[in-house]
Amino acid sequence: MGNVFKWLAISVGSVLALGALALVLWVAGRLTHAFDFYQTPSNANAPTFIIGDQFFISRWVKPERLDFIAYRSSLPEDGPTVFSHRLCGLPGDTVELRRSRLFVNGQDLDLGLQLVHHYALARADYARLPRPLFKDTTGIIPIGDSLYQVGLADADAARPALRAVRKVQPAGYRNPAILNVFPAGRNEDNFGPVVVPAGAYFVLGDNRQNARDSRYIGWVRQADVVGTVLGQH
């Protein structure tokens, strides 16, 4: 019995020591900004992150392609702030969107990603669709008397009973907001090809038709990256 109590005491002591060490490391990380918390302010990365989701980042982790990164940028209406989007293009990569699908160096990178796009729904389908499936309520727009445009996750839009048609900008349409940044940009669904310069990244939101990402703000300088997103809670 004595050995049992001794083993329990050692085990409890080890757990407490590890807990104390973890607490010290966590506090040190927070004080040095090696780890930071942020809260998602928009649905630009839905369905991966929705409004109110909290996530933490680390400046100690070098980002890889398709990681989410947090970075400093500025918009005229918002001023300087911290954005978070998916890292899609590394220096030297050729980035292109064809009918809203992302290709990097000729490879389709949308395969395996869970994304949101805008879809046209018949009024009857819109009325019976469960509201939690609306991943982008700002994208709900009536189209005439019989259709609605809705932001849906691609997996939800593919339900057999749902008659959803993805809305895609025609290749010939030229979006002035994008052309001001990228003369080869055209529009949000047909973009590029462009080559990512040295010292920069190309980022996209998972909510592809409602994200103020590199298509609108340009390259993200590596010097402006504040950390790699490690998880959410």
Max mean pLDDT among 4-8, 32-36, 189-193 falls in 189-193
Q: What are the structure tokens assigned to 118, written together?
A: 């805008």
- Tens digits of residue pLDDT in 30-86: 444 566 777 887 889 999 888 888 888 888 899 999 999 999 987 666 666 788 999
Cβ atoms of residues 57 and 211 within 8 Å:
no
Model confidence at 87, pLDDT cuts 50, 70, 90, reads very high
Q: What is the pLDDT of residue 35?
A: 61
pLDDT digits (tens, 9 = 90+) for 13-30: 454 444 444 344 444 444
Please tell me the least confidently modeled range out of 68-82, 104-118, 141-155, 193-207.
68-82
Residue 73 dihedral angles phi and psi, to the nearest 5°: -155, -175
Cα angle vertex 216, ends 116, 183, to 5°?
Answer: 120
pLDDT tens digits, one per residue of 93-118: 999 999 999 999 999 999 989 999 99
Mean pLDDT of the chain: 82
Q: Is the pLDDT of residue 194 over 80?
A: yes
The order of strands in the sheet holding 94-98 is: 107-108, 101-104, 94-98, 191-195
Higher pLDDT, 143 or 47: 47
How far, in Å, CA of 48 to CA of 136, rounded? 12
Dig out the tokens for 4 from the structure. Answer: 């049992």
